[in-house]
Structure 1
Amino acid sequence: MRFLVLAYSYPPTVNPRAVRWGAIAQRWAAMGHHVDVISGWAPGQPREECHNQLHIRRVGGNLTERMRGLLRPGGAIASPKTDRRSSETQHVGRHSLKKIARACHDATWKKLYWPDSNCLWQTPAVKTAGRLLEEHRYDAVVSVSIPFTSHLVAHRLRSQMRNATWLVDVGDPFSFMDQCTPNNTALYRGKNTAWEHRIFRGSSAVSVTSDETADRYRDLFPDCADKIHVIPPLATQPCGPVNRQLQSEPLKLVYTGTLYRDIRNPRFLFELFGEMLKTIPRRGLELHLYGLVNDCSDIVATYQRKFGSALRVHGTVPPAAAQQAVANADVLINLGNSTSYQLPSKIVDYAATGKPILNLTTIDHDSSAAFLCTHPATMTVRHNDFLDQERIIRDVVGFIAAPPTVDAATLFQWMSPFTVENIADRYLQLVVPTETVQDPTTIWRNAA
């Protein structure tokens, strides 16, 4: 069979959708299917690649990547102390230019673009995909968001798909995103809902990663309810090794991911960590943060001053370094989102390690808590529970000091629904309904 995948983000770009669809496309190609991928181009990436049955074409990107490079913030809070004075002056100058450029961007382009900041990719993607649809007959076309622009590309080419199945794969919701909105919702909220509904109606099937998201969409678009399916997160790392006796000195608590003031605020984590330091000697406990701090930089800086060397902020690091940090951790920290319909993509890779996971939530119906409810090495602490501070601190310290033991067989069984083999098969079941494959969510839901 032949598939066309429209995914703006694709490896070597590193983000949840790129990693997910890079693995699925490779899996389909290994199964003997021909897979054509059209993605966005970024500096340093080849425009075209061909690996046996997998053909990748990267289009557009010249203007948008220059803008993105100019506006992209640094990952860490402070520069290394070894910087020379001239380097510091240059850094300050570049930082000032970035601030000016971002202010201009936010006051003009950001208020006007639609459907998202990747809208300029639509034209070159339509051109390339249109040519491929003329040359080949596809069994299925898959459009992947974010960004929503990918779905608009497929919509514009609907008449050229002939009898191909059109699968709309949704990473994050579009029309009801209240935080980190894709565009100026004061101007486009009605248009966002109307177009997302149009895309759903025109598609053959829609896939999302959580039950909460599926339920929200079924309420919003009841005429499309039967099209909406849940395909769980993909594990990008193999299982294990299962957790060992804690030996590091000091004990390392590790968080990997991006912080957002409105979606994934670290203040609760810092409050809890501060109380833990009072129970465990300061030299015996460290909290390591890996990833962008975004609009939480002031919060992080405040607690850096308070905690000193016990709080280590590493900023953005290469994927291999982040994986090594997880491997060296004694306890993994997950911050649940402030929205029930978004599941942090890293949570399944956390679960695969077999290490203890401290899951911190701020809402009642937290998607991470639901996902991890049967995981054998997880403790969930809700912000409301922190009112009983003494008991919570005692329980958390006990969990860290003597975490549950996870045997390899239990971990392997728990993770089986999230392997690339099961996830790729589940997508095949949607795009080619005659395929007979096991629904991996059955195992997951039965376990819950």
Structure 2
Amino acid sequence: MKTGKVLFLTDKYLPFPSSNGTCVSKIVGSYPQKENVYVLAFSSSDAEIPGTNIHYCRYKRNPSSAFNRIFGHCQDDGAVTALFMEACQMIEDQKIDTVVCLYRPVECLLAGLKLKSKYKHLCVIGYFLDNIHEWSTSSRVKDQIFFFNQKRLLHQLYRSFDSILSLKYYQPTFEEMLRKTEKLCYVGLPSLREYSGDAQNMFSSNHINIVYAGSFYANCRRPDQILAFLAEVCAQVPEIRIHLYSWGCQELVDTAKEKMGENLVLCGRVSAEEAERAIHSADILLNVGNDMPYAVPGKLIEYFSTGKPIINFCYRPSDGAAKDCEKYENVFNVYANGDNSVDDCVKFVLNRQSLSWDTLKEKFYDSLPGYTADRILETRLKSKHV
């Protein structure tokens, strides 16, 4: 019997979500009948979120999880069992007919396999918000073993699940690992949302305010090159103020502050609410991409929601964000290993424009949370088991 009830298996959910938990919360929020949507998460919180059916899974971590990540599918056997048992109870009590299993964590996928084996009528969907082949160790042999096991797992998921949703950025990985692709559906990152626009402006109108909100990492997201470039831009446009709502690489940031003076404002790590206010108060947004081949431009999609001009620093001209930036158009790209024109960037800053919400919806329809929710519904309706 089709009840239309959906259960999401994820890691950390509201009120202190992981990045994947945040994506799930946006998809859940897009459902018109939220009473039919359930969430089962790994979390220590007992908070109740109005209008959302949240359940939390209790378990003890397996001390051998590091070994399992390389030589097996599972990070924590106890977590899979706990998740499976709790999900069984919810499926039977609430008459749930569809389960969406997130990756990561891999335990959600493994619990989904067990659920599909027990409940033949159940529509089970794998949802890849992370790339299945991102793990890397210091050992080539361990990497090869991990790749083999992940490929074997993916084939098992493809045979058992009704459908597999993946972010479009991982399409090369899935095409490399799978021969058949009929069950695959590619979606955007579900982070595009309309803002009310009634937030109070945080900055002086006498300045051109550029905002970066996020973290820095020495191995894949360094701030030194982009700040050195922007220092040259500030020399021509002294009214620029670059506000860093960030953490990480503090020595590099402090060195840049000494050189840039009042043009660089260090705000430190702040709450998500304050960072969001800063993003909407900014004249221009700053993005620093990741130095990896299939990086997901999560921060960029969040920025796109504002329609504001973006200065985008990227290590790879053809990284995961390249096509999205080309589609957005209102972007000035600064390349790590390229000849970047300070004069062109100055023109971009002085002639800044914004995009309307209607334009954004048309350009990035697959990044609307409702788009992913619709793909889940389509799979449920097509499933012969439900």
Would you call these one fold, judging by a TM-score over 0.5? yes
Q: Quick one: which amino acid aligns to residue 359 of structure 1?
A: N
Q: Which among 307, 314, 317 is matched to residue 361 of structure 1?
A: 314
Q: Quick one: which amino acid aligns to residue 194 of structure 1?
A: R
Deviations 1:362-419 (A, max 9, x none): 113122121121224222233333x3x4xx1101111011113535543454354433
CA distance in 1, matches of 2:103, 2:192: 19
Q: Which runs of 5+ in 2 are unaligned?
A: none
Partner residue, 1:286: 241
Q: Which among 265, 269, 276 is matched to residue 312 of structure 1?
A: 265
Partner residue, 1:148: 106
1:230 counterpart SS class: strand
Partner residue, 1:220: 177
Q: Contact conserved, 2:8 with 2:40, CA < 8 A, in 1?
A: yes
Q: Quick one: which amino acid aligns to residue 7 of structure 1?
A: T
* Residue 277 in structure 1 maps to residue 234 in structure 2: yes
How many Å apart are 1:350 and its aligned residue?
0.9
* Residue 34 in structure 1 maps to residue 32 in structure 2: no
Alignment CA distance shift 1:194-1:252 (3 Å): same
CA distance in 2, matches of 1:332, 1:118: 40
Deviations 1:82-102 (A, max 9, x none): xxxxxxxxxxxxxxxxxxxxx
Alignment CA distance shift 1:24-1:412 (3 Å): closer
How many Å apart are 1:232 and its aligned residue?
0.9
Q: Which runs of 5+ in 1 are unaligned?
A: 65-107, 436-448
How many Å apart are 1:229 and its aligned residue?
1.4
Q: Which among 325, 343, 347 is matched to residue 300 of structure 2?
A: 347
Q: Contact conserved, 1:241 with 1:354, CA < 8 A, in 2?
A: no
* Residue 261 in structure 1 maps to residue 218 in structure 2: yes
1:384 counterpart SS class: coil
Deviations 1:58-86 (A, max 9, x none): 1226779xxxxxxxxxxxxxxxxxxxxxx
Alignment CA distance shift 1:179-1:260 (3 Å): farther
Partner residue, 1:16: 19
* Residue 383 in structure 1 maps to residue 341 in structure 2: no
Alignment CA distance shift 1:408-1:219 (3 Å): closer
Partner residue, 1:238: 194
Greater mean alpha carbon deviation, residues 395-404 or residues 251-260: 251-260
How many Å apart are 1:434 and its aligned residue?
7.2
Q: Which among 218, 229, 237 is matched to residue 185 of structure 2?
A: 229
Q: Contact conserved, 1:145 with 1:171, CA < 8 A, in 2?
A: yes
How many Å apart are 1:25 and its aligned residue?
2.2
Q: Contact conserved, 2:162 with 2:383, CA < 8 A, in 1?
A: no
How many Å apart are 1:178 and its aligned residue?
4.4
TM-score (norm: length of structure 2): 0.83
1:273 counterpart SS class: helix
CA distance in 1, matches of 2:206, 2:149: 55
**What are the within-5 Å matches in structure 2 for residues 33-432 of structure 1?**
34-42=36-44, 45-46=45-46, 49=48, 54-60=52-58, 111-112=66-67, 114=69, 121-135=79-93, 137-178=95-136, 185=143, 188-210=146-168, 212-223=169-180, 225-235=181-191, 237-239=193-195, 248-281=205-238, 284-293=239-248, 296-385=249-338, 387=339, 389=340, 392-407=341-356, 409-432=358-381
Partner residue, 1:99: none
CA distance in 2, matches of 1:287, 1:50: 36
Q: Quick one: which amino acid aligns to residue 55 of structure 1?
A: N
Alignment CA distance shift 1:400-1:117 (3 Å): farther
How many Å apart are 1:50 and its aligned residue?
7.8
CA distance in 2, matches of 1:213, 1:407: 29
How many Å apart are 1:124 and its aligned residue?
2.2
